[in-house]
Chain A
């Protein structure tokens, strides 16, 4: 199973790579259109700044390719953290439009007490299951690291929510497209299980 991990040219993708490898997938960290076209699955990882990432995707000529692979060919794609946010219509971070695969936008945490609820929300948190698609009988504890979160999402697309001062959407799915606000690749066994589910998810 070939897995294209999109490289925006920012941050370290080691943990995603290692997770895919450990599950028997063949990961390619790539910016090349052909590698993405020839892959079985795509991962949009979660490092960097929304505005800069969209700009990089544009400059690398990847937006059209991604739209084609994901929307037309219905290739399974998993967005992690910023990778999930990129799938929305718009973000406050850089005030730019996203890929618009989901209805909704990305806003900064607006906590009630900025000393008590530090931003970024960095640490372990649990999921409230709105749907049971990603529910497993392992620990309900996943690693989060983000200052922005999605909002105004279609209710039918919401898989889970999480509470940090208030409730926000922490994972979404629409057909072959899935997005996690947390980092499954940094969430021990329970995270690996989600990546394994994704790798085993058959093309629609």
Chain B
């Protein structure tokens, strides 16, 4: 029986972890290395770290940080933040990451994804696509580096990324970020049925029922979440948590 991966996505700002709502209202969560230790004990499948300021500040995610995570983490982890050259990828991988997450640099030039997958193998290259609904309710790809996207249709872009050879795509809903009331199933359905590489769902998951909904009604291959794994209870107390074995089993399917 196949079970999709369940992936905590942790946002890095400076040296600390934060969590956002709709990409805003950052709240301080805690020390990232401490979180890694807890996720080790909880047997998380893998982790994703995203440095949310790196691209804006025109720098690469801290390699010292990647090394620190690498020393500690028992599970594979991916790192994103300001990755825009083959050297950047080499450095992040050598520092201990299993995969890199490319976002802005893929929007600027999709051939970078191709070059990256040819150099490091598809399974090392993950592309994250941030999507939001515009005024007319249409899904559009968003850029946070100020880059003007020529064709902002998410399906068109996801297929371009697939052709470029990426190993998987993280589909992140900006509108659902931090809301914890479920994934944007419609969006996930559209994209996961348009590409043949694994799609990771991100944005909106608040509990395991949201995971099950996504498995049942879309073709996503992995379930990612931020808030769900750092908050506890209706008042959103900070508590790093993960699925237990029984909950993992609920996600299995033929």
Contacts and interface: CB of A to CB of B under 8 A. Distances in A.
Given A115-B219, A186-B75, A11 B121 contact: yes
A65 interface: no
Contact of B123 (A15, A139, A145): A145
Could you say which of A14, A141, A186 has the most chain B C-beta atoms within 10 Å of its C-beta?
Answer: A14
Contacts of B122: 120
Contact of B196 (A12, A119, A145, A186): A119
Contact of B43 (A47, A115, A188): A188
A139 B197 CA distance: 27
Given A118-B221, A120-B198, A139-B245, A49 B168 contact: no
Contacts of A114: 196
A123 B76 CA distance: 12
A189 B168 CA distance: 26
Given A12-B98, A15-B76, A122-B168, A116 B219 contact: yes
Given A48-B121, A122-B168, A186-B75, A141 B219 contact: no
Q: Size band of the A side of the interface?
A: 20 to 34
Interface residues of B, number: 37
B156 interface: no
B2 interface: yes
B30 interface: no
A17 to B, nearest CB: 10
A143 B248 CA distance: 13
A44 B97 CA distance: 20
A47 B219 contact: no
A164 interface: yes
A22 to B, nearest CB: 8
Could you say which of A12, A141, A143 has the most chain B C-beta atoms within 10 Å of its C-beta?
Answer: A12
Nearest to B96: A14
Interface in B27-73: 43, 45, 70
8 contacts: A10-B120, A11-B121, A12-B94, A47-B123, A123-B5, A141-B248, A145-B123, A163-B254
